[in-house]
Amino acid sequence: MSNLVKIQNKDLSVKEFKGQRVVTFKDIDMLHERIEGTAKRNFNENKYEDDRKTERFINGVDYFIVTTSEKDEIRTLEIPNRGLTLITESGYLMLVKSFTDDLAWKVQRELVNSYFRGKEQKQLSPMEQLRLQYQVIEQHEEKINELDIKVESLALTMNISDGQAKTIQKLVNKRVKALCYGDESSAYMNTSIRKKVYSYIWRTLKDYLNVTVYHNILRKDYSSALKYINAITLQGALLREVQEANRATLGEKAI
């Protein structure tokens, strides 16, 4: 394995300590093209919270201080007598929060993905690759199923289309004619009676489907609406008014 990782066309030597990949202040200044000492100064200035007691950077988590007695654990670096500070991924991300130039964003992304987390990548065996492919396929199928369910749920909550609304209108017109005993009947030709029959059908339909206007009928209730319209019958006073209007006409014709 190569001991160098290229970050923004710069070679960074791989350093590991306590099982983690780390960088030095010098590495950070080099990659971000900052004056040497910038990263160390930022670290010292932000190491503690405002009370100067609580540490923002936690030793053993965000950084390590390597002593000369531990030099065998990281032989790629020379350890000075005062010790050497090594920055972990979490410490690095905290340290460069104030770096907001375009280069900083690019370096951060590459350093995290290619360096800090590069150790996690390994060559998969053919069986592992096949298993991974199956997992991806299964995940895609699950997402497709979830999408289908969402589409079905959405369809159930959508109102009828314009075409469905027109079909309902036509069916209501047809039903009004039938309940008046034809479009040439006296009841149908009587504007007042015809309006009452229309109102009756629309009112009972909306009551049945619990809507205020028929355009708000849900698509899931569309078939029920058609069946209900075809089954509507007149009752009570309105039925008698239709029958009497038609009888009166028949009586006049008989005379």
For residue range 165-200, list pLDDT tens digits in order. Answer: 999 999 999 999 999 999 899 999 999 999 999 999
Whether the per-residue pLDDT at 1 is higher than 50: the answer is: no
Closest C-alpha to 107, from 185, 195, 161, 34: 34
User: What is the average pLDDT across 203-221?
Assistant: 91
Q: Are strands 20-21 and 63-66 parallel, antiparallel or unpaired?
A: unpaired
pLDDT confidence tier of residue 124, bands split at 50, 70 and 90: low
Write down the pLDDT at residue 148: 78
Token look-up 């995940």 returns: 139
| Amino acid in position 77 | L
Are the beta carbons of 60 and 70 closer than 8 angstroms? no
pLDDT tens digits, residue range 133-166? 777 677 777 778 877 777 777 767 788 889 999 9
Write down the pLDDT at residue 123: 56
| Alpha-carbon span 162 to 211, nearest angstrom | 16
Whether the per-residue pLDDT at 255 is higher than 50: the answer is: no
Write down the pLDDT at residue 254: 42
Write down the pLDDT at residue 122: 53
Closest C-alpha to 234, from 197, 186, 203, 205: 197
**E strands, 81-236, in order:** 84-87
